[in-house]
Structure 1
Amino acid sequence: MKDVAVVAYCRTAIAKARRGALNQTHGIPMAAHVIREAVDRAQLDPHEIEDVVLGCGLPEGATGHNIARNAALFAGCGTQTPGITINRYCGSGLNAASVVANRIAAGEMQIGIAGGVESISLVQFHLNLDNFVYQPLQEKIPAVWWTMIQTADFVADKFSISREAQDQYVVDSQKRVAAALKEGKFAEEIVPLKTVMSVKNKKTGETSNKHVTLSEDEGPRPDTTLEGLTALEPVNTGGTITAGNASQLSDGAAAVVMMDAELAAQRNLPILGLFRGMQLSAVAPKEMSIAVAPAVKKLMKQHRLNMTDIDLWELHEAFAVTTLYNQDELDTPWEITNVNGGAIALGHPYGMSGIRYLGSTLMELGRREKHKAVIGVCTAVGMATAAYLER
């Protein structure tokens, strides 16, 4: 089996769903933008790309019609470049990377792109819900159709994770994002995107178009305080999940170029690191948040890793309760876990997030001159993905 190198990574800045700069940007130009830039950063000819695999949590409408193939065409990869769109909700991005890595490792191709894209603004609020629920399964396992907030509330209650602990986690995470912003870490990842957003006049209710350039994440709130979070009402009566301790609904895209490591070395390309493998797990759908821990444990066992081997941990902030549970279950040291904050502050475009974790974690390993990292991402209906990276 061949080693698989990540030779380039980039992303759009993350925009707030409906209210942000990408609120009417179609998924094709969004994804094509990062594909084009990733290829350029990798110093490759776009016609060398042998396959494009994009993860997408909601692959319909503006992110439907096999957006991977269409984005590859729009990015200039050429008509000879195929594409496939895959969906494992929040785990879609890491799964896309795994598909590309496996094909390279097996010698089926040498160069491919893995990415993720989500336009929650244009898709989530216009979903085709015709026959969405299948009643016989719903009667057996109702939580298959629960909202993610319902599952988070269930986990918080079952495992006695308090509202105060969740809110305090958010304060700490926001501080880490603020520090990373100040150091320019996210700017290294982001490729600015010129687009047209829809703006609503609050007084008149009229909407108009505005030309903008999205170059910074819209979500971070560095002035977040525990007092401010405590004042927020729970989304569900009797629950502990609020708009403050959950990841933000967001739009965005990200891409990595993956390559036969030997070929990349021969060309003297800038290798960010190696994608060593991925593992999956599944739990009861109502316990979605807890699935990361068993996925990580399977991954560690497969690669014969000890906890002390890992230099960085990235545990998905679907909700504060998600990270709190999995960090406690895995006993990951806080000083090397989510070191630059996470999705609660930055936002969570479902299909994009796994690719963002992959690229940004490799970049952070480089800054620290460290070598091994593990990523864990929970996903809807009680699943999770986990990936092992090495530099």
Structure 2
Amino acid sequence: MHRFAQKIFVASGLRTPFGRGGGALADHDAISLSVPLAQAMAAKARPDLVVWGTVIPSLGWSNIGREIWLDAGLDPTVPAFSAVLACSTSMIAAFAAAGMLGGSADLALVGGAEVMSNPSIGLTLAASKRITKLFRQNPAEAMTALRNLTADDLTLPTKGWANRITGRTMGDHMEETAKIWSIGRAAQDDWALKSHQRAVAGWERGFFDDLVIALPEISRDANPRADTSAEKLAALAPAFDKSGAGSLTAGNSSPITDGAAALWVATEAGLAKLPADTPYAELVDHEIAAVDHAVDGLLMAPSFAIARLLARHGLKYGDIALWEIHEAFAAQVLANIAALEKPGWTRDRVGLDVDFGQFPWDRVNPNGGSVAIGHPFAATGARDLSQAVKELWGMQSGSRAIVSICADGGHGTVALLERP
């Protein structure tokens, strides 16, 4: 069974090194950070379509895809538009592009960028209306009002981009979910340590060399720590629940990160336009799930999407050779897999009376995940997909991968890939 009327492929692209918040890339915005990446991708092939996204909004633009493409000095006859779905932004952009290919478009450039170091600060609706009215009536008085703004007049990215409806951060929500699923501190720290060790090892053996372009400010990811240890992780204080019962720390959570990432989405004709050595995989199917966060938890939708996707294709966990799972938090990975492993859970919560077998923990994130590499919101989908495609490329024909991302709002997006 295939999702699309024709075969659709995703091919590994490029990304910038991921920088620490407030670090080497902090002088950029999402457009300027994306421009060299778009130029590097366009040097490989001319796309028929561009889809790009960013999550943290800016009043400086409305269609970041087009702005990047034109700022990069690239062919203005290539259409470009923007997509957004929180942390799934560049994955949903890939799904959108996939559905548009055929006819006059065979190759899409898809990506996302986030400079979390520089969130925009806006005015509250009341302050905006007041000052806009003053500019119409008395510009000088309006300028005085601007100089006299207080914190109450500003819309700030408080509490780490908290969910608008609940007013709580992703970490706050994940602490609650970790307690429900009995995901303890030791298990989270152990997963975080593995993520760092795998990412560092990936860099040392050259796995990332053809996936990452060097920038003047930075040439490799800044977040993976070769010197971390179980003892160092255990010494960190809880970052969200500080009551004494918290288990999520800066060490087992994805860090504030700046970065941009891109990949290709193509038909067979589109693949022919890419360099012959480009790794690619068929995008067999995808699934988007949404849950009631008050019932299942804000970041638990991937488990629903994974179960539905596997059931639709008659697959079990063991049929998947590679699992590339976004690590918003170590606890989020562990909780979603705990749900999938729990007897009766897929029957009772997803409505699927299927025995998916034993979950293959040793096939998850072999080159590290977001806890170590970093998580620039809109770039993560493209990073995960590109990384998975390259990892899958080293396996035998017919090998399958699941790429999974949780997103704010109770969403989860999952792709099923297959090595040709």
TM range, normalised to the smaller chain? Answer: 0.7 to 0.9
CA distance in 1, matches of 2:320, 2:254: 25
Using structure 1 for the length normalisation, give the TM-score.
0.85
* Corresponding position of 2:95: 98
* Corresponding position of 2:221: 217
Provide the alpha-carbon RMSD of the alignment.
2.2
CA distance in 1, matches of 2:68, 2:235: 43
Is the contact made by 1:93 and 1:351 (CA closer than 8 Å) also made in structure 2?
yes
| 1:250 CA drift (Å) | 0.4
* Corresponding position of 1:321: 331
Q: How many pairs are equivalent?
A: 356
CA distance in 2, matches of 1:265, 1:80: 21
CA distance in 1, matches of 2:123, 2:86: 17
**How is 1:160-171 mapped onto 2 (pairs within 5 angstroms)?**
160-171=182-193
1:256 lines up with 2:263 in the alignment: yes
CA distance in 2, matches of 1:293, 1:127: 35
CA 1:40 to 1:122, structure 2 compared with 1: closer, same or farther past 3 Å? Answer: same
1:274 lines up with 2:282 in the alignment: yes
Aligned partner of 2:388: which letter? T
Is the contact made by 1:4 and 1:275 (CA closer than 8 Å) also made in structure 2?
yes
CA 1:300 to 1:129, structure 2 compared with 1: closer, same or farther past 3 Å? Answer: farther
Give the SS at the match of 1:344: helix
Is the contact made by 1:7 and 1:272 (CA closer than 8 Å) also made in structure 2?
yes
With 378-387 and 297-306 compared, the bigger mean Cα shift is at 297-306
More strand by share: 1
* Corresponding position of 2:108: 112
* Corresponding position of 1:357: 384
* Corresponding position of 1:201: none
Q: Which one of the candidate residues 181, 199, 202 is aligned to 1:159?
A: 181
1:285 lines up with 2:293 in the alignment: yes
CA distance in 2, matches of 1:172, 1:151: 24
Q: Which runs of 5+ in 2 are unaligned?
A: 126-154, 157-162, 342-358
Aligned partner of 1:363: which letter? K
CA distance in 2, matches of 1:177, 1:271: 20
| 1:294 CA drift (Å) | 0.5
1:76 lines up with 2:73 in the alignment: yes
Is the contact made by 2:262 and 2:382 (CA closer than 8 Å) also made in structure 1?
yes
* Corresponding position of 1:16: 20
Percent identity, aligned pairs only?
31
CA distance in 2, matches of 1:250, 1:314: 19
Is the contact made by 2:257 and 2:375 (CA closer than 8 Å) also made in structure 1?
yes
| 1:39 CA drift (Å) | 2.7
CA distance in 2, matches of 1:267, 1:130: 47
CA 1:108 to 1:145, structure 2 compared with 1: closer, same or farther past 3 Å? Answer: farther
Q: Which one of the candidate residues 2, 6, 26 is aligned to 1:2?
A: 6
| 1:145 CA drift (Å) | 2.9
Give the SS at the match of 1:90: coil
| 1:267 CA drift (Å) | 7.7
CA distance in 1, matches of 2:382, 2:94: 8
With 272-281 and 114-123 compared, the bigger mean Cα shift is at 272-281
Using structure 2 for the length normalisation, give the TM-score.
0.79
Larger Rg: 2
* Corresponding position of 2:167: 145
1:28 lines up with 2:50 in the alignment: no
**How is 1:127-146 mapped onto 2 (pairs within 5 angstroms)?**
127-128=121-122, 130=124, 144-146=166-168
Give the SS at the match of 1:114: strand
CA distance in 2, matches of 1:65, 1:142: 21
* Corresponding position of 2:235: 231
Is the contact made by 1:376 and 1:387 (CA closer than 8 Å) also made in structure 2?
yes
* Corresponding position of 1:54: 52
* Corresponding position of 2:355: none
Is the contact made by 2:12 and 2:389 (CA closer than 8 Å) also made in structure 1?
no
| 1:307 CA drift (Å) | 2.2
CA 1:272 to 1:53, structure 2 compared with 1: closer, same or farther past 3 Å? Answer: same
CA distance in 2, matches of 1:73, 1:258: 21
Is the contact made by 1:14 and 1:250 (CA closer than 8 Å) also made in structure 2?
yes
* Corresponding position of 2:152: none
| 1:61 CA drift (Å) | 4.6
* Corresponding position of 2:198: 176
| 1:142 CA drift (Å) | 8.2
Aligned partner of 1:285: which letter? H
Is the contact made by 1:315 and 1:327 (CA closer than 8 Å) also made in structure 2?
no
CA distance in 2, matches of 1:158, 1:143: 21
Is the contact made by 1:98 and 1:277 (CA closer than 8 Å) also made in structure 2?
no
Q: Which runs of 5+ in 1 are unaligned?
A: 134-140, 195-211
Is the contact made by 1:174 and 1:222 (CA closer than 8 Å) also made in structure 2?
yes
Is the contact made by 1:8 and 1:258 (CA closer than 8 Å) also made in structure 2?
no
* Corresponding position of 1:375: 403
Aligned partner of 1:249: which letter? I
With 336-345 and 274-283 compared, the bigger mean Cα shift is at 274-283
CA distance in 2, matches of 1:274, 1:95: 16
CA distance in 2, matches of 1:127, 1:266: 42
CA deviation string 1:21-52 (max 9, x = no partner): 110112223222222212323xx2x3xx2221
CA deviation string 1:334-362 (max 9, x = no partner): 21111111111111000000100100100
* Corresponding position of 2:353: none
CA distance in 2, matches of 1:52, 1:262: 17
| 1:156 CA drift (Å) | 0.9
